[in-house]
């Protein structure tokens, strides 16, 4: 039925019925072997974002994969040695998602990582400026301070693990409640829109978290107002002890996007460049004011849900499924690509090889010295840092200062 | 005649207009401020509290949100993290239960989790309370849930002037404030009053509505007006009641309470929420902790019964506080 | 990636990955003029459910449309005369949805109507047995008692309007919180499934209510477990003062179904037979254990959100949109069909004509006497019925009896 | 030697096993009963309370639900309306906030709205409480929200035997019960005890853990064990404390409380929830209403501070009750 508007409606722009975005990209089931549809999408995006990356960019990507992996194995070892308190949610085997989604962002873009994404806090805006104090990401010292629970942590260790943030550097402080930061991201993106900024917000969630009501409310809101929110779904096949098909009724989690008329892309979560391509396509679209996208990154959880779950996970997940899920280490996949495209020599590729190795069996020799030293600095800082004073516990229940 | 020629008197405002004007005053004062809620724009709000705001400030600053309480609160938090004060309307405060997690776990704890580096200046307001035949889902007075959730401020005015002054303070507060509006008072003619635009009432300041020496009656919101009637009845009995309107529960103006109780030695607390773990219990516990030696009688409370608020009038009135119930309890305390 | 199962998984059937249902039905935008896709669906369903209806069934459908309409106009008049307390949410112009969805149900199927669906409480299981005390629907006396707020109401007038139910007759008692009964329907349907019953649950919600988080959680759960839940969406274009495109980002609300891989059908809400066809297709599918469907019934809200909103609604909704939205009165649409298909004579069709008339301008002469008398009985009963005693207010906070 | 040949003694159970066995006992007794929650089947629950249940009763009766707290509670209500008792696990009680509306507005009011024609026999249980370094979202003790919501029963056992007996009663109760499990006690060796399978503890019965004449200490859950230590310390000071474990808050065993207070004239209430509007305030208010003349000292309370529960130990312990804090407060009351 043709719509007619009252003066009141016409005066307020929003009531003009916006023609709904028509989904151009079909989704594919197994990203490992790109299908027709899959390529269509890449064609759709005139040139692939990766084509604009320099050889140095490629090596930086590899360096960041090493860093994310090294951070993970080092923490796993520390935890097993009983040196850390709290639970450790390993991002092992999922690093390409973090590196690939963050690599192309602008410093003033926002992100909201979850428990599985600890490296994201220091990977944000690290590209080419690991030691620049001005960068809009957390320092390795801050992140290590958080892991060790010290007063030098961003939230002075008032909550554990990934429950940190920094509004000055565009990181939403998150609660434990899954999918709970997506509406917050909508609010941040709404502010961008009002200010005419072309920044975006990347939210990270696991596939299981898409079953939360607030996921729906937030994505629906973002779609209605065409907010620059990119919903990254790390589909690692398991939500704690529950397999994906008991959380999501469709074959692909990306299908959730269809309910909102927004693009639902599927990326090979083991391929940092595929993740980069899909992300930048969605980011570019969002910067143009065309609204949100959902990107399902297919991957596999290497260990237990948390380190406390490693033993039980070995029982509730069949060994062959785990072996299969870990068979395409993102470092190996990317190295192969670099060698094939002559961006890395066989020899250099062979020099540092943590890929495929279980955390405990990796050594510092498996990683480039700049990566080892970078983290060492953070760890040493954290270990020396003081615990917060007990009295602090009573502060900041309310913001200090009256704000008016 | 000549009087007519002098400056026209400020016209009196009802409770609803006072709220509307306070919100508009802040929207004008602070171009960063945003309002979001269901049907607050084109419609102007179910009760008209935001009437005209969207026409004046546009649909970007006065957002007609989808029926998604959790996302509404979450989005308000996001805007607040970007430095915007946000007014969030719950169409009825009863529906706040659908946005509960975002309020108690996200907004309330932001300052704490970030060690004060971030804060959430949002005001979540909505019509509350019974006496209107609204039934279990349009009559709630659920402030105790939030008073029990650290990091939230909780406000409930009983007069147009307080509504205006507390709304101004709430909208300027860097913390999340849950603002209970007494919908039964929205259009009550008897309580209309003149309100200078610059009226500000700080959170955490109770008002002594009536001085008295024999008994302290503490209340807030709608029952406050029953207490005023009761004070008159008590005066006829030769009992001088001191009436305290808390106005804000968190923060709580303890000094005013204790000063009065130490004077009268007798306390009655009256509120509309259900009884168990309601705010009346909290006031009584604190009075015990701070004024025990001064008490000449047991502190009693008049509250709603521990039931939902039923719909039809005979049932609704049976469970809610009334002048009779308050008078009876006051005599019990005074004559103990 | 091919899935392998642990013994533990294999033992418990649910872990076999179920191939997701492939949506066969495309949705159409304007049900008024059926499109290619629309017909496709009807073909898909071998023969149209309506083909099995007898001439008497057709006249019964008309009778029920008259009854629903008469109930609505009578209440509107009573309210305007100040005889009723509480708000009245008119179902005027939306009656075909209630009559068409309920007509084909079995007595032991369940429903959960909302504020807009007051007639549903007595229309359930009324087909051909209006006065049968055994029927699994509320009597007109009970429903009128509820409207008048008397002790003879199903819930003894403890909550108003549509917040009633009856587990013995398969009606979920609902709260005010929109979409809040869909998960309850899932629980009821889950019990059907465990017991091997082929009953279904029909849930009713407006288009605006599909923005609620619990809508998503419940439909997702129903889809995962293939529960016999039919989600009826009455898209009357407005959610109180908010137009549909500020609640739903897609052109059709039916698109929500795509996010769950379940059928999303669109019915012409003004055409009782189209509603019947789409409903029975989904019901039949659900009875076979194939899971939930979502049916968007396109219609238009005739009056204000509630009677308190009539005046303001006239301001926020442009007159021509309202005129357009009310131009296809379900009674007129069905009468025309009956005459064209020779099931009703021109003369009989002309005898009772409330269609297109505004509530106040209709009279008892516009309705068949059996309809007028049926309701009269209910109203007289309700008016005579007693109010509940004040003391009742303190009862039943907890169930009486210890249940063990 | 001959002793060894007689019937083997029932082996002692820890708090977690007691819960597991009670749930299993009811699953065996009532084939209609269903369990639903996140990761309760294949995994056996985050803490293992439902370990083995899915293998024994199958995936239909032990449902691995998606991460949808609201739908989980709603679905449980639906099954309950069809006559099935349902055990709902919240992975941590903190996440109950995401299913809040379905609990307080749907389950809690069903009996009331239907004038007793329908009821909702569901038990919503989960690990609660601090002292484990869980931080703000894995340490909550939020029972006051539900004690304040009419229509819900609220339970919190402090021993394996009570956990077993109260779980049996809760699963047989026709009303929704919110069951707080003290996760810090799940595997505490010191409190393991023998529990006959037929143990049943009715809701609403407190237990007098230790008789005494000088002061009544009322508590429940984890702090109960601090109170036991403190009672010993007080005894050394010549102060005989009577210890009451409430076990269930709604319904509340008022007789046991008042009988004791009238004897001792002195009361200390200890609980782990944040202070304002917590259940300790409710107990104090009722003691005032019923035992005022018997009070020789102000009823005091030891609670968590009005803050979230911070993560790192020095901060966490600073805000939570401790033996020292309880001892100090008890002396204050006893020596007043
Ligand atoms: C609302 C809510 N419910 C339950 C939990 C407990 N929980 C923490 S992580 C998790 C599983 C998350 O799975 P997924 O979203 O797939 O992320 P992944 O851990 O696999 O990366 C659960 C159930 C929670 N944090 N929040
Ligand atoms: C959770 C919740 N939020 C808000 C409301 C207030 N409310 C009642 S009806 C309504 C509009 C519903 O619109 P729609 O779902 O389209 O149904 P319609 O009234 O149009 O039939 C609103 C916002 C509510 N009842 N529940
Ligand atoms: Mg996962
Ligand atoms: Mg509607």
Residue B143's φ and ψ, nearest 5 degrees, are -60, -25
Average pLDDT over residues B233-244: 98
How far is the CA of A245 from the CAs of A117, A220, A235, A249, C213, in angstroms? 23, 23, 11, 6, 20
Over residues A64-77, mean pLDDT: 98
Nearest-by-CA chain B residue for D285: B281
Q: What was the pLDDT predicted at C6?
A: 58
- Which pairing describes strands B241-245 and B207-210: parallel, antiparallel, or unpaired? antiparallel
Question: Which residues from B are below 8 Å from C312, CB to CB?
Answer: 43-44
Per-residue pLDDT at B296 exceeds 60: yes
Contact assignment for C158 to B308 by CB distance below 8 Å: yes
Tell me how far apart the alpha carbons of residues B63 and A204 are, in angstroms, rounded to a whole number.
26
Whether the Cβ atoms of residue B26 and residue B125 lie closer than 8 Å to each other: no
DSSP state letter for D214: S
The pTM assigned to this predicted structure is: 0.95
Spatial separation of the C-alpha atoms in residues B207 and B204, rounded to whole Å? 10
Cβ separation B311–C392 shorter than 8 A: no
Q: Which residue has the tokens 């405990």?
A: A360
Burial class (CB in 10 A: 0-12, 13-18, 19+), C3: middle
Give the number of beta-carbon pairs within 8 Å between B and D. 129
Phi-psi region of A156 (alpha: psi -120 to 50; beta: other; left: phi over 0): left
Q: Which regions of B73-214 does DSSP assign to beta strands (E)?
A: 86-89, 122-128, 153-155, 177-182, 207-210
Ligand 2 pocket test target in C206, C234, C246, C247 with most atoms within 8 Å of CB: C206
Q: Please list the ranges in chain C whose pLDDT falls under 50.
A: 1-4, 17-40, 42-43, 403-404
Cα A335 to ligand 2 centroid, rounded to whole Å: 55
Read off the pLDDT band of A7 (50, 70, 90). low
Q: Which structure tokens are listed for D170? A: 């809760």
Question: Is the per-residue pLDDT at A8 higher than 80?
Answer: no
- D315 burial type by CB count under 10 A (0-12 exposed, 13-18 middle, 19+ buried): buried
Judging contacts by C-beta atoms under 8 Å, the chain B residues touching residue A224 are: 66
In 3D, which of A179, D145, B308, D113 has the Cα closest to residue C184? Answer: D113
Q: What percent of chain A has pLDDT over 90?
A: 86
Write the residue in D46, D67, D314 that is nearest to A387 by C-beta.
D314
The angle that helices A330-340 and A95-102 make with each other, rounded to 10 degrees, is 60
Query: Is pLDDT of A44 > 60?
Result: no
Tell me the chain A residues in contact with residue D275 when contact means C-beta distances shorter than 8 Å. none
**Cα–Cα distance between C96 and C275 in angstroms, integer?**
7
Provide the chain D residues 55-74 that lie in CB contact (below 8 A) with chain C. 55, 58-61, 64-66, 68, 70-74
The residues whose Cβ lies within 5 A of ligand 4, an ion, are C 206-207, 236, 239
Average confidence (pLDDT) over B150-170: 98
Distance between CA atoms of residues D77 and D73, nearest Å? 6
| CA-A238 nearest atom, ligand 1 | 20
Which uninterrupted H or E stretch holds C312?
helix C310-316
- Chain C nearest CA to B39, separation (Å): 5
Q: How far is CA D36 from CA A204, A284, B260, D50, D57, in A?
A: 27, 43, 53, 10, 12
CA-nearest of C269, C249, C328 to C31 is: C269
Pocket probe mutation, ligand 2, options C91, C118, C236, C239, max atoms within 8 Å of Cβ:
C239
Which chain C residues are closer than 8 Å to B130 by Cβ?
Answer: none
Q: How far is the CA of C297 from the centre of ligand 2 (A)?
A: 17
D225 has catalytic annotation: no
DSSP string, A231-290: EEEEE-SEETTEEGGGT-SSSSGGGGGGGGTS-EEEEETT-HHHHHHHHHHHHHHHHTT-
Instruction: Give the Cα separation of C137 and C140 in Å (integer).
Output: 9
Please, what is the end-to-end C-alpha distance for chain A in angstroms?
49
Pair B80, B103: CB distance under 8 Å: no
Q: Which one-letter DSSP state was computed for residue D303?
A: E
Catalytic choice (B138, B153, B183, B301):
B138
Residue B291 in contact with residue B258, Cβ under 8 Å? yes
pLDDT higher than threshold 90 for residue A353: yes
| Nearest chain C CA: its distance from D115 CA (Å) | 5
Q: Is the previous residue joined to A288 through a cis bond, with omega within 30 degrees of 0?
A: no
What proportion of chain B, given as a percentage, has pLDDT over 90?
97
Ligand 1 contacts (CB < 6 A) are A 116, 176-178, 205-209, 212, 234, 236, 238-240, 301, 305; D 38, 67, 69, 91, 95, 98
- With bands split at pLDDT 50, 70 and 90, how would you rate the model's confidence at B161? very high
In the numeric block, which tokens belong to residue D155? 């339970």
As a whole number of angstroms, the distance between CA D216 and CA D333 comes to: 10
pLDDT at A16: 54
Chains that touch B (3 or more CB pairs under 8 A): A, C, D
Q: Does A386 touch chain B (CB under 8 A)?
A: no
CA distance A388 to A385: 9
pLDDT in the model for residue A37: 43
Does B42 reach chain A within 8 Å, measured CB to CB?
yes
Residue C16: what pLDDT? 54
For Cα atoms D254, D256, D258, give the angle at the middle one, nearest 5 degrees: 65
What is the reported pLDDT for C400?
Answer: 85
Q: How far is CA C126 from the centre of its chain?
A: 14
Give the mutation candidate from A82, A84, A162, A176 for the D interface (greatest D CB count, under 10 A). A176
List all residues of chain B from 132 to 151 with a beta carbon under 8 Å from chain A. 150-151
Confidence band for A400, pLDDT divided at 50, 70 and 90: confident
Single out the residue of B225, B223, B228 nearest to residue B210, CA to CA. Answer: B228
What are C169-203's pLDDT values in tens digits? 999 999 999 999 999 999 999 999 999 999 999 99
Q: How far apart are the first and last CA of chain B?
A: 56
> How do residues A86-104 score in pLDDT, each as one tens digit?
899 999 999 999 999 999 9
Contacts of A390 in chain D (CB under 8 A): 314-315, 317-318
Per-residue pLDDT tens digits of chain D, which is 336 residues long: 444 556 666 799 999 999 999 999 999 999 999 999 999 999 999 999 999 999 999 999 999 999 999 999 999 999 999 999 999 999 999 999 999 999 999 999 999 999 999 999 999 999 999 999 999 999 999 999 999 999 999 999 999 999 999 999 999 999 999 999 999 999 999 999 999 999 999 999 999 999 999 999 999 999 999 999 999 999 999 999 999 999 999 999 999 999 999 999 999 999 999 999 999 999 999 999 999 999 999 999 999 999 999 999 999 999 999 999 999 999 999 999
Best probe of the D interface among B273, B281, B295, B320, by most D CBs < 10 A, is B281
Q: Give the lowest-confidence range in A341-345, B220-224, C32-36.
A: C32-36
């Amino acid at each position: 039925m043709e719509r007619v508007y009252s003066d009141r409606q016409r005066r307020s722009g929003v009531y003009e019925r916006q023609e709904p975005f028509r989904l151009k990209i079909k989704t594919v089931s197994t990203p490992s072997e790109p299908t027709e549809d899959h390529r269509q999408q890449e064609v759709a995006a005139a040139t692939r974002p990766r084509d604009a990356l320099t050889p140095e960019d490629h090596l930086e990507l590899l360096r960041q994969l090493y860093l994310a992996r090294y951070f993970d194995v080092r923490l796993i070892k520390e935890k097993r040695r009983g040196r850390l308190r709290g639970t450790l949610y390993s991002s092992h085997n999922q690093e390409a998602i973090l590196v690939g989604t963050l690599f192309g962002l602008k410093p003033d873009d926002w992100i909201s990582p979850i428990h599985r994404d600890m490296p994201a806090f220091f990977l944000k805006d690290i590209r080419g400026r690991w030691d620049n104090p001005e960068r809009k990401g957390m320092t390795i010292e801050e992140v290590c301070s958080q892991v060790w629970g010290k007063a030098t942590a961003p939230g002075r260790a008032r909550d554990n693990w990934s429950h940190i943030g920094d509004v000055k550097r565009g990181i939403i402080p998150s609660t434990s409640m899954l999918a709970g930061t997506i509406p917050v991201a909508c609010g941040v993106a709404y502010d961008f829109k009002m200010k005419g900024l072309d920044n975006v917000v990347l939210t990270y969630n696991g596939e299981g978290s898409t079953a939360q009501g607030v996921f729906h409310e937030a994505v629906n809101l973002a779609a209605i107002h065409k907010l620059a929110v990119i919903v990254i779904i790390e589909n690692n096949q398991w939500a704690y002890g529950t397999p994906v098909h008991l959380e999501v009724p469709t074959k692909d989690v990306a299908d959730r996007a269809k309910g909102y008329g927004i693009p639902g892309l599927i990326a090979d979560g083991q391929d940092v460049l595929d993740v980069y391509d899909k992300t930048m396509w969605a980011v570019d679209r969002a910067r143009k004011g065309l609204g949100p996208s959902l990107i399902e990154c297919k991957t596999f959880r290497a260990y237990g849900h948390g380190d406390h779950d490693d033993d039980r996970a070995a029982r509730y997940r069949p060994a062959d499924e785990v072996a299969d899920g870990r068979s395409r280490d993102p470092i190996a996949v990317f190295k192969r690509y670099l060698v094939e495209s002559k961006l890395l020599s066989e020899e250099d590729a062979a020099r540092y090889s943590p890929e495929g190795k279980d955390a405990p069996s990796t050594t510092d020799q498996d990683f480039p010295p700049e990566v080892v030293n970078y983290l060492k600095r953070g760890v040493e800082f954290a270990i020396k840092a003081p615990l917060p004073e007990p009295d602090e516990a009573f502060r900041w229940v309310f913001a200090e200062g009256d704000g008016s | 005649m000549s009087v007519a020629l002098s400056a026209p008197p400020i016209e009196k405002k009802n409770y609803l207009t006072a709220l509307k004007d306070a919100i508009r005053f802040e929207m004008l004062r602070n171009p960063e401020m945003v309002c979001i809620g269901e049907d607050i724009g084109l419609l102007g709000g179910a009760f008209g509290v935001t009437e005209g705001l969207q026409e004046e400030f546009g649909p970007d600053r006065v957002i007609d949100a989808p029926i998604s309480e959790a996302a509404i609160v979450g989005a308000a938090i996001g805007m607040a993290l970007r430095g915007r004060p946000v007014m969030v309307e719950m169409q009825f405060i009863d529906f706040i239960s659908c946005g509960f997690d975002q309020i108690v776990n996200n907004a309330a704890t932001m300052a704490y989790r970030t060690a004060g580096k971030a804060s959430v200046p949002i005001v979540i307001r909505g019509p509350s309370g019974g006496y209107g035949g609204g039934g279990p889902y349009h009559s709630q007075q659920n402030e105790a849930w939030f008073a029990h959730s650290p990091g939230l401020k909780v406000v409930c005015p009983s007069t147009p002037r307080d509504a205006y002054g507390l709304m101004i303070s709430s909208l300027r507060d860097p913390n999340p404030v849950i603002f209970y509006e007494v919908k039964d008072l929205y259009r009550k003619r008897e309580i209309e009053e003149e309100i200078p635009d610059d009226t500000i009432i700080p959170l955490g300041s109770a008002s002594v509505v009536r001085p008295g020496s024999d008994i302290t009656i503490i209340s807030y919101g709608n029952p406050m007006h029953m207490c005023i009637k009761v004070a008159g009845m008590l005066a006829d009995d030769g009992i001088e009641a001191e009436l305290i309107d808390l106005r804000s529960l968190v923060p709580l103006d303890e000094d005013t309470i204790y000063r009065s109780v130490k004077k009268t030695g007798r306390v009655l607390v009256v509120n509309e929420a259900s009884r168990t773990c309601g705010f009346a219990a909290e006031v009584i516990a604190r009075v015990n902790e701070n004024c025990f030696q001064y008490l000449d009688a047991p502190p009693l409370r008049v509250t709603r019964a521990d039931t939902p608020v039923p719909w039809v009038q005979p049932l609704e009135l049976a469970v809610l506080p009334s002048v009779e119930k308050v008078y009876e309890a006051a005599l019990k305390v005074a004559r103990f």
